[in-house]
Chain A
Amino acid sequence: EADIYQTPRYLVIGTGKKITLECSQTMGHDKMYWYQQDPGMELHLIHYSYGVNSTEKGDLSSESTVSRIRTEHFPLTLESARPSHTSQYLCASSEYQGRQETQYFGPGTRLLVL
């Protein structure tokens, strides 16, 4: 069982607000990821990090930004929320063990922007 946490689990917010979605893991994993998933659709990678002070954009263009100041913490920020940002945001972390690099997911944050 993986120890990866996300807060808040649910968020309803008005257009134009700045929000930060928190993600933390206690496994000491170097690699962390943010995915966006609309209902019934596939996961799309929006940000990832290979370690402290490393952040990269993923395949899906996103107006969000991330930071990685500590190994265990990978917050995602939206400077000005819009209805198009309504989605589920999933955080994951991974570690290479043997031949396997397995990603473990947090419970997700469901965001609704009015």
Chain B
Amino acid sequence: GQNIDQPTEMTATEGAIVQINCTYQTSGFNGLFWYQQHAGEAPTFLSYNVLDGLEEKGRFSSFLSRSKGYSYLLLKELQMKDSASYLCAVLAGAGSYQLTFGKGTKLSVIP
């Protein structure tokens, strides 16, 4: 089966840096996604990692270590609008296009 773990909640200060971790145990691996979901809205795509290393996109970066089954999402220069849930999702299984989602990390950015 598939198992994805991430912290339930985090709080950080506006302007700071926050790292949201995700660990996974899956049968097969075809890539890891991070999505942002504001309350009551649909998830929006943030990043994709399939090779080890860091992918940077503006204020957001995502890191992957396949040998450790580990990823993190790094948010820099936090803004109030970054308050949202951040979902880690894994594409697993040979030929699979199905995403397995973690429960999400609810990030609260405070002044």
Contacts and interface: CB of A to CB of B under 8 A. Distances in A.
A69 B20 CA distance: 41
* Chain B interface, >50% SS class: loop
Interface in B96-111: 97-104, 106
A99 B33 CA distance: 13
Contacts of A90: 42-43
B97 A107 contact: no
Nearest to B1: A59
B64 to A, nearest CB: 13
B22 interface: no
**Interface bin, chain B:** 20 to 34
Given A94-B97, A101-B97, A43 B45 contact: no
Contact of A101 (B30, B87, B100, B106): B30
Interface of A: 31, 33, 40-45, 48, 50, 58-59, 90, 94, 99-108, 110
A38 to B, nearest CB: 11
Nearest to A43: B101
B98 A58 contact: yes
A62 B41 CA distance: 22
16 contacts: A33-B98, A33-B99, A43-B87, A43-B101, A45-B98, A48-B97, A50-B97, A58-B98, A59-B100, A90-B43, A100-B50, A101-B97, A102-B48, A103-B45, A107-B41, A107-B42
